[in-house]
């Protein structure tokens, strides 16, 4: 079976690492004058000048270049190493998708998916009823290559969530949600920056028939088709 693999550009870690190194060198070059200027501004106020500023101002150019350039080198190497280690890999076939990142692997069957689209840095796969099947980190992968791989293998690609119009802003305590739904939505908002906790909250929401996303640090939520049908039957 033919599989298309999408990886981050091999030059990305080097570019990021060199960027941090360059920042360290630039700061080292201008550290003395910048510290002196800032000290002069503070001198004109009742506030005391921090000793660190005086120290940096007193250092010669070789010292500031050596110290801050060295820190930039160490920081750049660390960023490059982390970029390689945390890079996701997406493998797309006609009947499934595999996503690997660090020690976590996810397998999604094509039969489980009714729509695929990019949401910011994530690849989102929805079930045929509109529920969330998977939200996969593709931050450092080319958006064009991800789309090309999926469409080449016949996956149902969309430019955005096909149920976009159903999203509404969630506010804690807003009528229309049960106490259990409010609890999970609250957790989804509070833990939005913790990848593992966010995945668990998304799974709990899926079990309740809800799909959530974050826009401007606020939760937007919609119900799946099956949940809407059930609610309609209860009315």
List the single range of 36-45, 124-133, 225-234 with lowest mean pLDDT: 225-234
Is 1 within the bounds of a domain? no
Taking residues 22-48, report their average pLDDT.
Answer: 89
- For residue 88, name the pLDDT band (cuts at 50, 70, 90): very high
Average pLDDT of span 42-57: 85
CA 80 to CA 14: how far, in whole Å?
Answer: 6
Q: Is residue 208 part of a domain?
A: yes
Asked if the model's pLDDT at residue 93 lies above 70, the reply is yes
The arithmetic mean of pLDDT across residues 43-70, rounded, is 87
Residues 21, 75 share a domain: yes
The number of CA neighbours under 13 Å toward the Cβ of 190 is: 7
Residue 65 in any domain: the answer is yes
Assigned token pair, 213:
């996303």
From the list 72, 115, 82, 99, the residue with the least C-alpha distance to 199 is: 99
Residue corresponding to tokens 């499934």: 96
Q: Is residue 6 part of a domain?
A: no
CB-CB contact of 94 with 3 (8 Å): no
Residues 78 and 103 reside in one and the same domain: no
Residue 104 belongs to domain with CATH number: 3.30.720
Residues 51, 30 within the same domain: yes
More confident residue, 43 or 183: 183
Chain segment 147-161, per-residue pLDDT in tens: 999 999 999 999 999
Angle (CA) 215 219 225, round 5°: 105
Tell me if 169 is assigned to some domain. Answer: yes
Domains held by the chain: number: 3
Together in a domain, 120 and 107 = yes
153 and 171 within one domain: no
Best CA proximity match to 31, nearest among 56, 8, 11, 2: 56
Q: Which of 68, 85, 102 is the last residue of a domain?
A: 85
| Domain residue limits at 185 | 164-235
- How confident is the model over 190-226, as pLDDT tens digits? 988 888 899 999 999 999 999 999 998 899 999 997 6
Residue at a domain's end among 141, 162, 183: 162
User: Which three-class secondary structure string do you get for 59-109?
Assistant: CCHHHHHHHHHHHHHHHHHHHHHHHHHCCCEEEECCCEEEEEECCEEEEEE
66 and 121 belong to one structural domain: no
Do residues 46 and 21 share a domain?
A: yes
SS3 228: helix
Residue 124 has φ and ψ, to the nearest 5°, of: -105, 130
**Res 132 pLDDT > 80:** yes
**Of 58, 85, 112, which residue is a domain's last?**
85
């Amino acid at each position: 079976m033919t599989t298309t693999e999408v990886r981050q550009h091999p030059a990305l870690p080097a570019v990021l690492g060199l960027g941090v190194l360059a920042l360290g060198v630039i700061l080292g070059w201008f550290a003395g004058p910048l510290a002196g200027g800032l000290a002069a501004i503070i001198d004109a106020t009742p506030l005391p000048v921090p000793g660190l500023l005086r120290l940096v101002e007193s250092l010669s150019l070789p010292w500031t270049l050596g110290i801050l350039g060295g820190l930039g080198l160490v920081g750049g190497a660390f960023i490059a190493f982390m970029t390689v280690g945390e890079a996701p890999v997406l493998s797309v076939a006609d009947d499934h998708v595999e996503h690997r990142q660090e020690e976590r692997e996810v397998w999604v069957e094509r039969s489980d998916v009714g729509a695929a689209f990019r949401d910011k840095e994530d690849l989102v796969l929805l079930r045929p009823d509109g529920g969330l099947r998977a939200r996969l980190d593709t931050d450092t992968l080319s958006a064009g290559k991800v789309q090309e791989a999926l469409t080449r293998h016949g996956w149902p690609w969309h430019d955005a969530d096909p149920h976009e119009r159903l999203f509404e802003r969630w506010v804690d305590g807003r009528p229309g949600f049960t106490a259990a739904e409010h609890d999970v939505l609250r957790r989804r908002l509070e833990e939005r920056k913790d990848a593992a906790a966010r995945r668990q909250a998304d799974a709990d929401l899926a079990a309740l028939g809800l799909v959530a996303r974050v826009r401007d640090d606020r939760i937007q939520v919609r119900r799946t088709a099956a949940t809407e049908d059930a609610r309609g039957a209860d009315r």
